[in-house]
Structure 1
Amino acid sequence: MKDFPSCFGESGVQVADSSPPTTTRAQNQVACIYQYTSQSFSGFITVTWMKNLMVQALSIAIENSANDSLGKVDIRPWLFSKRKGFKKMVVDSTKVDIYWDLSSAKFGSSPEPLEGFYLAIAINQELCLLLGDSQTEAYKKIDPSPFAPKASFLARKEHIFGKRLYNSKAQFCGKGRLHDIRIEFDPNERCGKCLTMLVDRKVVLQVTHLQWKFRGNQTILVDGVCVEVYWDVHGWLFDSAIFLFRTHVPVAKAGPLEGLSHGFSLVLCAWKSE
């Protein structure tokens, strides 16, 4: 949770600790944060998929609601002995069981697998997070309680690469569909450098004169959900830019213009490729 943007100014976006460190410049990385609350535990699960020229890896971190670490597991499943396995941890009476099977996983350009895998995490013997399409195999390892709450998808941070075009996908609400996101950067636009953003091939945002408007924010509508888009492209003068998509959902029993709270957040770190 500490690595996600959190500071915003009235005239735009000020991203705290948002630029990826130079040591991860060539690394393709996706980090997903889930929030889990039950009678026995409240906290966060961060699942990070990584890939570079040398290795692919998976990292799982567990934190309590005070952001205190309860443990971290680093897995390099492309070493033959670790494509399938489990890990058990006990920290301050909290029991964490992690099971994974990536032996048949299929991948695209992202380090996150597309299919043929499962990752299951149980906290205090409650199955709270299950990723992948091989769920039957996961259930053989952990017997799910029908009353156990499931972790909610809180935020996603992804590194994307390109020269002028950057692509990603996002599901902005739990029952919404997966959308294609395309970001276009035109450094030679006649009225100044230009930023264009498309969702499912439809232009939802366009900013000209980026040399003066390199930070800003605008609200768009996706699946009937308000999504506030923040951008900081000052780094494009060098090698990177930051985009934040943050949904707003109405609080129960609140009026249509009040009682909004933050829902899902997507952070895209756009790197200029060579």
Structure 2
Amino acid sequence: MNISFSIIIDGFEGDMERQARCKVELKPWHFWSKKGQKQQEEEGNHQVDVYWDLRSAKFTGNSPEPCSDYYLALVSDEEVVLLLGDYKKKAYKRTKKRPALVDAIQSLKKETVYAKKSFATRARFTQGRWEHDVVVESSTNGPKDPEMWISIDGIVLIHVKNLQWKFRGNETVVVNKTPIQVLWDVHAWLFCSPGTGCGLFIFKPGSPEIEMDKEGSNRTGVSDDNSSYSTFYSTQPTQTKMVDFFLLLQAWKTD
């Protein structure tokens, strides 16, 4: 009945961690709510302004993320520190603020998908490249042994047979000359009651030698909110730290 988006801002001041939250509900019977502005004041009287315009936003498939004709901007210290969407000129005109000196880089996309057998999402594995279609299909019921297929851009890259013995695993595939590590855990699909657990899939560009437990990797953990889609952006200069990207897919079976 309604669409909402939430913004969580994590920050540090000395040894103290600070967090600010902002939630905006876009009710379908209130057209004006799809365009607005909201002020969020953090500790220390530091203000963050949120601007959005989703009146003409277009969506594809069942994804909760708009694909075009929208903007969402965060303003802090007279700079647009984060700008999403393709209406960039409109966003700068409305905010009347300058672009940030350092562009934000997406480092995490988490999406929750509900389906019977096929779970689909889209992700951009490298900066500046196009998005890829990611589909996980499974057959856990029937006379045959459970199986699972993972495809990217319509090509099956991973086929797991005897899933009851291989419900956890990892493989590395190559997409457009980019190695991508794929990790999965579907124990809940096979051994838990329906609706009590989901299948977890992590897609991480890079060679297998890159460790998964480096500092900051806990951001890929499953959160306890009800959002079906979330992203994490870092504004660290790329000259000092290369930000890793993770796609975390939570697949809930509906049967």
TM-score scaled by structure 1? 0.70
CA drift of 1:214 comes to 0.6
Structural RMSD (CA): 2.6
CA drift of 1:200 comes to 1.1
Say if 2:2 and 2:26, in contact at 8 Å, map to a contact too.
no
CA drift of 1:121 comes to 0.9
Partner of 1:28: none
Say if 1:85 and 1:101, in contact at 8 Å, map to a contact too.
yes
**Structure 1: unaligned runs, 5 residues or longer:** 1-53, 252-260
State the identity %: 34
Q: Distance in 1 between matches of 2:247 and 2:22?
A: 24
CA drift of 1:266 comes to 0.3
Partner of 1:75: 24
Change (3 A) 1:67 1:115: farther
AA aligned to 1:62 is I
Partner of 2:201: 243
Q: Distance in 2 between matches of 1:183 and 1:213?
A: 15
CA drift of 1:191 comes to 6.2
CA drift of 1:115 comes to 2.1
Q: Which deviates the most, 135-144 or 98-107?
A: 135-144
Q: Write the deviation string for residues 185-223 of structure 1: whole angstroms up to 9, x where unpaired.
A: 022587621111111111211111111111111111123
Q: Which deviates the most, 148-157 or 232-241?
A: 232-241
Partner of 1:142: 95
Q: Distance in 1 between matches of 2:172 and 2:156?
A: 13
Matches within 5 A, 1:113-132: 113-132=66-85
Of 56, 63, 79, the residue aligned with 2:3 is 56
**Structure 2: unaligned runs, 5 residues or longer:** 211-241
Say if 1:95 and 1:125, in contact at 8 Å, map to a contact too.
no
Matches within 5 A, 1:247-266: 247-248=205-206, 263-266=244-247
AA aligned to 1:89 is Q
Say if 1:127 and 1:143, in contact at 8 Å, map to a contact too.
no
Q: Distance in 1 between matches of 2:132 and 2:173?
A: 14
CA drift of 1:57 comes to 0.7
Q: Distance in 2 between matches of 1:233 and 1:263?
A: 24
TM-score scaled by structure 2? 0.75
Say if 1:160 and 1:269, in contact at 8 Å, map to a contact too.
yes
CA drift of 1:83 comes to 1.5
The ranges of structure 1 where at least 4 consecutive aligned residues each deviate by more than 4 angstroms after the TM superposition are 188-191
Of 37, 48, 58, the residue aligned with 1:96 is 48
Say if 2:110 and 2:249, in contact at 8 Å, map to a contact too.
yes
